[in-house]
Amino acid sequence: MRGLAEQDGAVEDGDLLRAHAAGDTSAFARLYDRHDQAVFVFIRRLLGPAHAEAAEDLHQETWITVSKNAASFDPAPARFAAWLFTIARHKTFDHFRRQKVAILAGPADLSFEDAALEIADPIATPLEQVQSRETALAIVAAVEALPLEQRAAFVMFADGGMSLEEIAEATGVTIETAKSRLRYARTKLRQSLAGERAALDV
């Protein structure tokens, strides 16, 4: 009988993880292939340019933790991808703490009414929405310039496809706080993009 990792692409992530925990050696490789690029980009975005050299190590630590904790994964509270990004976030924040980097949440003066405004449907990865290299680099720079908690919320949402509920669960905050952080991040990115367009029009 073939292992799950040798079957068609309809196999769920959770099933692959359970198969790995049960001893299917190919299941973990399939799972890794599905998500390794996305989680590496997520870690790299959180680190920013000043700590980019740590991305590979944190990426490996994240997958080691996934493997060690495969048997304890519970699909009820969150999808595998949300669980994976949560582990990656913890690894990155632990890195900052070891390096004695302040983990700033950024401005906290957004009102509840502002935070509660409807957020648009999930958008594509910023790099998929831009046409020019200059604009893409400007957006990446703007994301990396965000305070860490806003950056984490935005990357989880835009790159990781996580819902507000999943972001709130992953970061240990209320849904309203997660919404506020995401709204702040998107506002800043829109401002940065507008500035980039204005500069190109000069």
Q: What are 154-199's pLDDT values in tens digits?
A: 888 887 788 899 889 888 899 999 999 999 998 888 887 776 555 5
Residue 162 phi, psi dihedral angles, 5° rounding: -80, 145
pLDDT at 130 (0 to 100): 45
- Range of the structural domain that residue 169 is part of: 112-201
Query: Domain for residue 107, yes or no?
Result: no
Judge contact between 80 and 148, C-beta under 8 A.
no
AA identity, residue 145: A
What pLDDT band is residue 2 in, cutting at 50, 70 and 90? very low
pLDDT at 136 (0 to 100): 63
CA dist., res. 92 & res. 46, Å (int): 7
Q: How far is CA 202 from CA 102, 194, 195, in A?
A: 37, 13, 11
Q: Are residues 14 and 82 in the same domain?
A: yes
Query: Domain for residue 22, yes or no?
Result: yes
Query: Domain for residue 104, yes or no?
Result: no
89: which 2 tokens? Answer: 């976030």
Query: For 21-54, what is each residue's pLDDT tens digit?
Result: 999 989 999 999 999 998 998 898 888 877 888 9
pLDDT at 148 (0 to 100): 86
Q: Are residues 91 and 153 in the same domain?
A: no
For the chain, give the longest Cα–Cα distance. Answer: 65
CATH number at residue 147: 1.10.10.10
What pLDDT band is residue 101 in, cutting at 50, 70 and 90? low
pLDDT at 99 (0 to 100): 77
Query: For 112-145, what is each residue's pLDDT tens digit?
Result: 233 223 333 334 455 444 445 666 677 777 888 8
CATH number at residue 82: 1.10.1740.10
pLDDT at 116 (0 to 100): 27
Query: Domain for residue 153, yes or no?
Result: yes
